[in-house]
């Protein structure tokens, strides 16, 4: 298996504070992994470091075997990143948003290609010409996922992708993530939703105050990670803090 993302004894400081301390994990191609933790655990910091927005204080953050800070452009070309709030332009419709971001990423933006991606994320055809400010959070998330699909990036970094979605939308989203992984995409998502992470991820890394507090794997032949074990570990750390 090719290793797509590799955090090696990664430490990061922000505003003089160490927010990530000696964290190590790797994500292979086609895997879905989740970073789970409470607020301030260092989850989003990890993603931003892979993207080259933050520089490690020590250790390394590698994308496709290369240090991201050494070639930020290459790292960002390999990654499709969805921030926490699905950030799209309110004054543009779905097509316009997709075309805008795709043209910046020098990716294909033909109408047929866009429709195919929007079909895949199940965004209603009648909504596609409407401006984004009329969209629900779930609909916006679908457009953002469509963008990630269209970017054809081998790696997806998703920051709190199901936050604020209704249960049906979360189910749709989890299904889509699994499909993308089956297509060979590597997905690292950040969440504090224990249940959702256990259902969608192959492996969960529990982060607490910038340190890796545990790792949970999905046993072979079982469709989810042991929710109770993860929940118990999460609750223990939450209680300690």
* List of residues contacting another protein (CB under 8 A): 48, 51, 53-54, 73, 76-77, 79-85, 87-92, 96, 100-101, 103-106
Contact 106, 73 (CB under 8 A): no
Contact 120, 149 (CB under 8 A): yes
Q: Least CB distance from residue 92 to another protein, whole Å?
A: 7
Nearer to another protein, 88 or 181 (CB): 88
Nearer to another protein, 31 or 159 (CB): 159
Q: Least CB distance from residue 81 to another protein, whole Å?
A: 4
- Give the integer Cα–Cα distance in Å for 194 and 39: 14
Nearer to another protein, 41 or 82 (CB): 82
- Give the integer Cα–Cα distance in Å for 170 and 152: 22
Q: Least CB distance from residue 138 to another protein, whole Å?
A: 17
Q: Least CB distance from residue 180 to another protein, whole Å?
A: 17
Most distant CA pair in the chain: distance in Å?
A: 52
Q: Provide the 8-state DSSP code for 152.
A: T
Nearer to another protein, 105 or 122 (CB): 105
Nearer to another protein, 53 or 195 (CB): 53
- Give the integer Cα–Cα distance in Å for 201 and 171: 13
Residue 23 dihedral angles phi and psi, to the nearest 5°: -95, 130
Nearer to another protein, 101 or 216 (CB): 101
Nearer to another protein, 80 or 213 (CB): 80
Query: What are the strands of the beta sheet with 66-67, ordered from one edge?
Result: 17-28, 3-14, 56-63, 66-67
Q: Least CB distance from residue 79 to another protein, whole Å?
A: 7
Q: Least CB distance from residue 82 to another protein, whole Å?
A: 8
- Give the integer Cα–Cα distance in Å for 167 and 110: 32
Q: Least CB distance from residue 31 to another protein, whole Å?
A: 21
Contact 206, 214 (CB under 8 A): yes
- Give the integer Cα–Cα distance in Å for 101 and 39: 29
| Exposed / middle / buried, residue 221 (Cβ in 10 Å: 0-12, 13-18, 19+) | exposed
């Amino acid at each position: 298996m090719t290793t797509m993302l590799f955090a090696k004894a990664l430490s990061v400081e922000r505003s003089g504070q160490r927010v990530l301390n000696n964290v190590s994990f790797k994500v292979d191609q086609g895997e879905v992994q989740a970073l789970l933790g409470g607020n301030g655990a260092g989850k989003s910091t990890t993603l931003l470091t892979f993207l080259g927005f933050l520089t490690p204080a020590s250790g390394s953050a590698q994308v496709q075997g290369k240090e991201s800070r050494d070639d930020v452009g290459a790292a960002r070309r390999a990654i499709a990143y969805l921030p926490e709030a699905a950030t799209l332009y309110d004054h543009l419709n779905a097509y316009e948003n997709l075309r805008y971001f795709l043209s910046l990423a020098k990716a294909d933006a033909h109408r047929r290609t866009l429709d195919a991606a929007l079909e895949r994320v199940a965004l209603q055809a009648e909504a596609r010409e409407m401006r984004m400010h009329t969209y629900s959070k779930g609909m916006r998330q679908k457009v953002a996922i469509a963008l990630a699909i269209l970017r054809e990036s081998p790696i997806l970094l998703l920051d709190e992708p199901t936050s604020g979605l209704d249960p049906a939308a979360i189910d749709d989203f989890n299904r889509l993530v699994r499909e993308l992984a089956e297509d060979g995409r590597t997905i690292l998502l950040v969440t504090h939703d224990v249940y959702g992470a256990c259902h969608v991820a192959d492996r969960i890394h529990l982060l607490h105050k910038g340190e890796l507090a545990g790792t949970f794997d999905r046993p072979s032949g079982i469709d989810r990670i042991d929710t109770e074990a993860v929940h118990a570990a999460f609750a223990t750390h939450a209680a300690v803090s």
